[in-house]
Structure 1
Amino acid sequence: MREEILRIIERNSRIDTGELAVRLGRDESDVVNEMMKMEEEGIICGYHTMINWEKTTQETVTALIEVRVTPQRG
């Protein structure tokens, strides 16, 4: 069940636990308990949001910086 939960919430972290339980064919309380265990164990580290900044009025700047390091002795 853990892997199934992780695959689903990786694609949609805002899915309702009731809907998640229905998809898995499990009781909602079992799903909630399993998710809490995975949070406590550090398997689930957080829930993230992807934002399309191009659809906002926020102006952004993107830069690619190349750094070369030459090791020196001494």
Structure 2
Amino acid sequence: MTPVAALDAGSDQGALTLALPAGKAARNLVALEGADGYHIIARTSVTAEQARACLPRYASQTTGIELTGVAAAPRNAVA
């Protein structure tokens, strides 16, 4: 399932309330994740701790769901 489809499905089911159209929200979330990943690896302006705080906060604002208390999967977890 694509990020857009997941956001649309959640919105259609009433599980979340999007602050932006699903396509724009998905692009922003994916771009933020990618940019944070780059900066973490390049050791420039974003630390892993900052990314772990920022991305869930933005996702919460975008979806209307409180995600800031959700723990990330362990780094070596198998999906």
Larger helix proportion, structure 1 or 2?
2
Q: Scaled by the length of structure 1, what TM-score is found?
A: 0.30
Higher relative contact order (CA 8 A, sep 6+): 2
Max Rg structure: 1
